[in-house]
């Protein structure tokens, strides 16, 4: 089994009082949309901390497993460290940011499937057409121990960068692998382009 881990423990601090994961996309809150797309692919876990009760309500009755990650208070690296430790034994796991409005279940499935065709890699990840790396990111289980030492708010960058030569990029046909929306202005611009 290859589970999906959705990172949804951030504070939305740049949204100036609103929760970006509650923003409506295709008629439903963003977090619910991303989780529903993931759950249609494989077993899905959702890392929560900030506003956990409200975000749990957004998930409703979706067949996902919430993970309360106390380490999330430290930033994204803490979220990864605490959430990966709670995942079940698996051969690999896919990490998806909850604030990517255009990533689909098909994108997640494509990155997971790529592992079988490029077994020499340890990391497989979505990318832009011109090869800029983004999300989602699939990690081989052999890397799991490296998450134990993550710290700071640069996410898994310290783990991923040294493995560039063992990373396979899955190029999407647009920039959705890197299109996260962090501010009200980001959301307004994205909606204007829809």
Average pLDDT in the 78-84 region?
A: 94
- Confidence at residue 47, expressed as pLDDT on a 0 to 100 scale: 96
Interval 91-147: pLDDT, tens: 999 999 999 999 999 999 999 999 999 999 999 999 999 999 999 999 999 999 999
Average pLDDT in the 162-171 region?
A: 97
Q: Is the pLDDT of residue 14 over 70?
A: no
Helix axes 52-59, 30-39, angle to 10 degrees: 50
CA neighbor of 98 nearest in space, from 157, 51, 148:
51
- Confidence at residue 76, expressed as pLDDT on a 0 to 100 scale: 86
Identify which has the larger pLDDT, 102 or 182: 102
Helix (H, G, I), strand (E, B) or coil at 58: helix
As a whole number, the mean pLDDT across the chain is 91
CA neighbor of 94 nearest in space, from 58, 123, 120:
123
- Residues 50, 33: Cα–Cα separation, whole Å: 19
Stated pTM of the model: 0.94
Report residue 10's pLDDT band, with 50, 70 and 90 as the boundaries. confident
Q: Superfamily assignment of 4-192 in CATH? A: Spore Coat Polysaccharide Biosynthesis Protein SpsA; Chain A (3.90.550.10)
Average pLDDT in the 154-174 region?
A: 93
Helical (H) or strand (E) element with 35? helix 30-39
């Amino acid at each position: 089994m290859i589970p999906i881990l959705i990172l949804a423990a951030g504070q939305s601090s740049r949204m100036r009082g609103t929760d970006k994961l509650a923003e409506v996309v295709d008629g439903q809150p963003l977090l619910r949309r991303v989780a529903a797309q993931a759950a249609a692919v494989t077993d899905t876990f959702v890392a929560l901390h900030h506003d956990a009760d409200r975000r749990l309500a957004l998930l409703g009755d979706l067949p996902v497993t919430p993970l309360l990650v106390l380490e999330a208070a430290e930033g994204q690296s803490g979220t990864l460290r605490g959430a990966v430790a709670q995942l079940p034994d698996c051969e690999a796991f896919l990490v998806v940011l909850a604030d990517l409005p255009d990533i689909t279940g098909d994108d997640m499935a494509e990155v997971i499937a790529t592992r079988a065709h490029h077994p020499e890699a340890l990391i497989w990840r979505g990318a832009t057409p011109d090869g800029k790396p983004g999300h989602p990111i699939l990690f081989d289980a052999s890397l799991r121990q490296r998450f134990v030492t993550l710290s700071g708010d640069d996410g898994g960058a310290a783990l991923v960068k040294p493995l560039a030569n063992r990373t396979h990029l899955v190029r999407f046909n647009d920039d959705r692998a890197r299109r996260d929306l962090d501010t009200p202005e980001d959301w307004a611009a994205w909606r204007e382009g829809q």
